Structures are given as structure tokens and as C-alpha cells.
Amino acid sequence: MTVHKFAIGQMVEFGGASPSTLRPKGPFEVVSALPVDGGDSPTYRVKSSAEPFARAAKETELIALDLSPSEQTSSASGRWLSRPFRSR
């Protein structure tokens, strides 16, 4: 069984030299952990306050941010986690 590295509500950032110029800068909040398929890296749904939607991201693409509680509250999208995430 694979253990997820990041917790729901944790602030993360995309790390490395990712060729994504469309991705906004700034912190993302982990909103859910997705099931692991085979030998793939665990995947998460992450949400930025700069976007109206959540993204899927592999664990290997993310790095944890060490933010103070006040920084986490201000960067979260108005307590977006107060509602359960539902896909369409």
C-alpha cells in the first residue's frame, strides 16, 4: 500500500523546471488525495486561489511549503475546503 506524502489542507508548490508557463505562481492547497494506479506516483488534487478550478498533480511534481498559519489562511481560497470536492 502506498502512503501519501502530503496531507489534505497542506500548502505545496510545483517544483523543478516544469515547462508550464500557464500555471500560476504561488501556493497550492492539497484538497484531496487520489488513488494510486499501479506503480505510479501518488496523485493529488491541488487548488490555487488564483484559479477557479483544481488541478491534478503527481507527488513527484510537488514540494511542501513551510508557511505560518496566518500565511496559510490568507493564501487559501476563502476556506475552499469547507465544501467536499466533487467531480463532474
Q: 70: which residues sit within 8 A by CB, 6+ positions away?
A: none
Q: What grid cell was written down for 61?
A: 511534481
Q: At 63, give phi and psi (nearest 5°).
A: -130, 145
Strands of 1-88 (E only): list them: 11-14, 28-34, 43-47, 54-58, 62-64
Confirm whether pTM is higher than 0.75.
Answer: no
pLDDT of residue 21: 60
- Alpha-carbon distance 43 to 4, whole Å? 8
Greatest alpha-carbon span in the chain = 38
Q: What is the pLDDT along the chain (88 residues), one digit of tens a residue?
A: 567 789 999 999 988 665 556 666 779 999 999 887 777 788 999 999 888 899 998 898 899 988 655 555 554 444 444 444 455 4
